[in-house]
Amino acid sequence: MTRLSVPKTYKLYIGGKFPRSESGRVYEVASASGAFLANVAQASRKDARDAVRAARSAVAGWSGATGYNRGQVLYRIAELLEGRRAQFVEEIVQSEGVSADAAGKQVDAAIDVWVWYAGWADKYVQVAGNGNPVSGPYFNISTPEATGVVAVIAPQQSSLLGFVSVVAPALVSGNTVVVVASEKSPLSAISLSEVMATSDVPGGVVNVLTGSAAELAPWLAAHADVNAIDLAGAGETDWVDLQISAADTLKRVLTPEPGVPAPSVERVTFFTETKTVWHTKALI
């Protein structure tokens, strides 16, 4: 007798919890061949605002943690991902219609990218900052620090690797993020949320919305409590309007990239602000 399986309800991830959309909306996610996979929460404007609020309240703790601590927390996610490798492979095979081999490579790459970025947490300050030899009796140092709340439109393809390639770099310096997952293939983003919820990432540091990027991105681009927006996966939307809207609050904007962005320390430093501190030296 075959066992009847217990399918999972895929929900949003906001403030460390897994709510349904307040709107009560869901949309059907289908496999590459068109078969029903899941009813996924279709996030609304209100969900986006809740996510920004959760992200804002997590900024002080996450950006205030030491780089060493953030690095360990991020590394642990990679450890847990590795342990759930089979689940991610299966989800990617189902929703993207790729071979198990290709899905496995994507999961491996996602884990390796995550480890690569985790290692930056206690190093990027040394690479992007420096002491300044000013002409006078002053101690003077420039260091980068987190910009704050970063909204991210994840790449539409390679759902797990795409998600990791945009979320991990923003987290390195202590930003908190609100991510709109791949609309067509959101399952691995939600499963990754479950990994984060059971690791040491504080609630609110990563918030995941599923639904329509075209619907959600304008609210995030216009939101006054969002400091920066990464439009990596917004290439198919009218992203120039998003950039125009983001200008109202002078958000830092990273424009769309085709495919999955390559690992790069510039993705880390883009979402930082350089602070220069001067202090007088006594004349002795």
Site for another protein in 38-77 (CB under 8 A): none
The single residue among 7, 24, 34, 136 that binds another protein, judged by CB under 8 A, is 136
The single residue among 65, 109, 197, 214 that binds another protein, judged by CB under 8 A, is 109
Binding letters toward another protein, positions 213-252, x by CB under 8 A: --------------x-----------xx--xx-xxxxx-x
Tallying the residues shown for the chain, one arrives at 284
Site for another protein in 265-284 (CB under 8 A): 265-266, 273-280
The single residue among 44, 177, 261, 271 that binds another protein, judged by CB under 8 A, is 261
Distance separating alpha carbons of residues 222 and 243, to the nearest angstrom:
9
Query: Can you list the positions of beta strands (E) in 135-248?
Result: 138-146, 149-153, 176-180, 206-209, 228-230
109 phi, psi to nearest 5 deg: -65, -40
Nearest to 171 by CA among 114, 209, 224, 123: 114
Q: Which residue, 206 or 229, has its beta carbon nearer to another protein?
A: 229
Distance separating alpha carbons of residues 140 and 135, to the nearest angstrom:
10
Tell me if 257 contacts another protein by CB under 8 A.
yes
CA 239 to chain centre: 18
* Binding piece for another protein, criterion CB under 8 A, among 19-27, 131-139, 186-194, 202-210: 131-139
Q: Which residue, 44 or 272, has its beta carbon nearer to another protein?
A: 272
Q: What residue spans of the chain are helical by DSSP H? A: 45-64, 67-83, 85-96, 100-118, 124-128, 159-172, 187-197, 213-222, 239-246, 265-270
CA 130 to chain centre: 27
* Binding piece for another protein, criterion CB under 8 A, among 19-27, 84-92, 186-194, 260-268: 260-268
- Which residues are CB-neighbours of 129 under 8 A, at least 6 positions away? 141, 142, 143, 144, 274
The single residue among 9, 66, 99, 132 that binds another protein, judged by CB under 8 A, is 132
**Residue ranges that bind another protein, judged by CB under 8 A:** 105, 109, 112-113, 116, 127-128, 130, 132-136, 138, 140, 142, 147, 161, 165, 227, 239-240, 243-244, 246-250, 252-253, 255, 257-266, 273-280
